[in-house]
Amino acid sequence: MEISTDQITKENEQSYRQLLDNIHEGVYFVDLNKRITYWNKGAERITGFSKENVMGTCCSDNILMHVTQSGVCLCQTMCPLAATMKDGKSREAHVFLHHADGHRVPVTISATPLRDDKKNVSGAVEMFSEMYLPSTWLTGLSETQQEQCLDALTSLGNTHYTEDFMTRAFTDMEMNGIPFGVMLCGVDRFDLFEAKHGRETAERLLKLIARTLKVNVLSSDFVGRTGESEFFLGIVNVDADRMMELARKIQVLTGLSRLHKEGNDDFLMVTTTVSVAMPERDDTVHDLLSRARKMLAQGQAIGGRCVYPDR
């Protein structure tokens, strides 16, 4: 449904904005120059950008910077808002927006034209909603369980909890026929990054990668930290082809995450390598994890920034 600006008068403007500020979804308006003229509380919550930081700026000015699953930036050539303002048609898309903290968040967006009292397009409105649910493996834990199961730096599953997940996944596969696969996501040349930027910045980077991983898996999947710069993803009810698709997405999104430098607008970016391993007959937890680590090392040895499967 199209939204007409003549619905908003001086008398009802405040109540209209209060209504939008109390919905769960993010909503913002742009004019024909793509300058943001309204930004609701849902947009603040989902993106981490406050209204004061974005009002009057262009939505592509290092704010949302929507990208596709394959890493294509939509702002310059395929912007849904620009297309809607050009042809007056509403459209939807599944994209990954840039959060103020630097990680990538999966959202569904809908772009709708705004029209003036003469029915001419005068701008556009985008509504967006999150497309993820927290992993059930990482939520609902007691304080004692958190201390035992979660990595202190990233709040992802620790090595012990990761192995527990794998043991249960093997059992579900053998008893119930539920397939699963594992990925290891390693930060390329992390030791050089830490040597150049220091330990504190390196830890902020690890937290950034963890946030990107955490919001880009299903609630039934598992995310852990199993090494200094090594992250584990356990994906359930999946085949090898789907695992490769997901691995490519993870490799792209972690590479597009931005670590903002403190005190200025500059940012740092890194690349990652993702290995993929599917369980084989008579595999143990150790066998599967070792094979994934071998593939990760081989991928990073040839330069990194790739997806490296075990078959």
Task: Output the pLDDT for position 140.
Answer: 81
Entry field: residues in the chain: 311
Specify if 112 maps to a domain: yes
Residues 165 and 263 in one domain: yes
103 part of a folded domain: yes
Buried b vs exposed e over 33-43: b needs ≥16 C-beta within 10 Å?
Answer: ebbbebbbbbb
Do 149 and 271 lie in one domain? The reply is yes
Looking at the structure of the chain, the number of domains it has is: 2
Taking 50 as the pLDDT cut, the residues of the chain under it are: 1-6, 8-11, 13
Verify that 183 and 253 share a domain, yes or no.
yes
- Output DSSP code: residue 255: H
Q: What CATH number is attached to the domain comprising 121?
A: 3.30.450.20
Out of 130, 161, 195, a domain closes at: 130
**Does residue 137 belong to any structural domain of this protein?**
no
| CA distance linking residue 307 with residue 274, whole number of Å | 5
d(CA 307, CA 233): 14
Which of 105, 120, 112, 113 lies closest to 43, judged by CA? 105
User: What is the predicted pLDDT for the residue at 9?
Assistant: 38
Q: Six-digit token pair at 161?
A: 């909890």
29 contacts 38 by C-beta, under 8 angstroms: yes
305 DSSP 8-state letter? S
Question: Is 124 within 8 Å of 84 (Cβ atoms)?
Answer: yes
Q: Are residues 121 and 163 in the same domain?
A: no
Residue 136 lies in a domain: no
Strand, helix or coil at 186? strand
Environment class of 248 (CB within 10 Å of its CB; exposed 0-12, middle 13-18, buried 19+): middle
CA distance linking residue 71 with residue 41, whole number of Å: 28
Same domain, 74 and 98: yes
Q: Is residue 135, in this structure, part of any structural domain at all?
A: no
Helix runs in the chain, H state only: 13-21, 41-47, 51-54, 74-77, 80-87, 143-149, 159-176, 190-197, 199-214, 240-256, 285-301
Distance CA 240, CA 309 (A): 9
Q: Are residues 52 and 104 in the same domain?
A: yes
Question: Do 224 and 275 belong to one domain?
Answer: yes
> Which string of DSSP letters, residue by residue, matches 161-218?
HHHHHHHHHHHHHHHH---EEEEEEEETTHHHHHHHH-HHHHHHHHHHHHHHHHTTS-
Does residue 235 share a domain with residue 196?
A: yes
Do residues 122 and 256 both lie within one domain? Answer: no
CATH for 236: 3.30.70.270
Bridge partner list, 307: 274
- The amino acid at 277: A
Residue 117: predicted pLDDT: 79
Cα(106)–Cα(211) distance, rounded to whole angstroms? Answer: 12
User: Which residue, among 58, 51, 25, 66, has the nearest Cα to 124 in the 3D structure?
Assistant: 58
- Residue numbers of the domain that contains 43: 3-130
Dihedral of the alpha carbons of 174, 159, 249, 53, in degrees to the nearest 10: 140
Paired residues of 163 in beta bridges = none
Same domain, 123 and 243: no
User: Looking at 107, 130, 153, which one is the last position of a domain?
Assistant: 130
Half-sphere exposure of 230 (CA within 13 A, CB side): 19
Give me the pLDDT at residue 284, please: 96
Single residue among 130, 164, 192 that ends a domain in this structure: 130
Q: Are residues 184 and 77 in the same domain?
A: no
How many angstroms separate the first and last alpha carbons of the chain?
A: 48
For residues 123 and 259, membership in a common domain is answered with no
DSSP 29-43: EEETT-BEEEE-HHH
Domain membership flag for residue 220: yes
The model's pTM is 0.87
Report yes or no on 72 lying in a domain: yes
Report yes or no on 247 lying in a domain: yes
